[in-house]
Amino acid sequence: FKQKTAYEIRLSLVGSEMCIRDRKTTLQVGMEFSLAYVVPESKTVPHLYPESHWYRAMPSVFATGFLVGLVEWACIDAIHPHLDWPAEQSVGTHVDLSHSAATPPGLTVTVHGRLTGVDGRRLTFAVSAHDGIDEIGRGRHERVVIDVARFATKVSAKRPAG
């Protein structure tokens, strides 16, 4: 019989419909949320990787990379009250997102989301984004709840020496 650590016990107690914090059922499948963001010039394609001359020459519209970040932000914002912050946080592990319409700076992009799955620490979301004129994106996003101290230890072990 191997004695489990408190962390291992805690992970095994997290059911598919359970919240991480206090084992409450506050994090429920079906939870809906939204986040609105006015697109500034700094979030357009030429600013995504300014060191690339290819990006700098592209049209000044909301960049797909920044749309992905906005979707992640909306999901983080939605689950934050359900975590033992700052000891527990979440990291993105999968993004499947279309970007179907261009958005110029100045328009407001609203991300709508719904929690579609809770499997232990893995959370799945259905998401869409609209700029007030067109739906600009739709897809699925996954996040995993992490123990920040344990995660930091793993990342630190990967850092190059020097």
Beta 108-119 vs 88-99: how paired, if at all? unpaired
- Please provide residue 7's backbone torsions phi and psi, each rounded to the nearest 5 degrees: -65, -45
* Catalytic residue, candidates 44, 82, 88, 99: 99
Q: Report the C-alpha gap between 36 and 82 in whole angstroms.
A: 21
Q: How far is CA 162 from CA 28, 152, 153, 157, 159, in A?
A: 45, 18, 17, 13, 9
Where do we find the tokens 């095994």? 12
Answer yes or no: 99 catalytic: yes
User: Cα angle at 10 between 85 and 28, to 5 degrees?
Assistant: 65
Which is catalytic among the residues 26, 64, 110, 116? 64
CA distance 74 to 70: 6
Given 72, 82, 88, 141, the catalytic residue: 72
Q: Which residues are catalytic?
A: 64, 72, 99
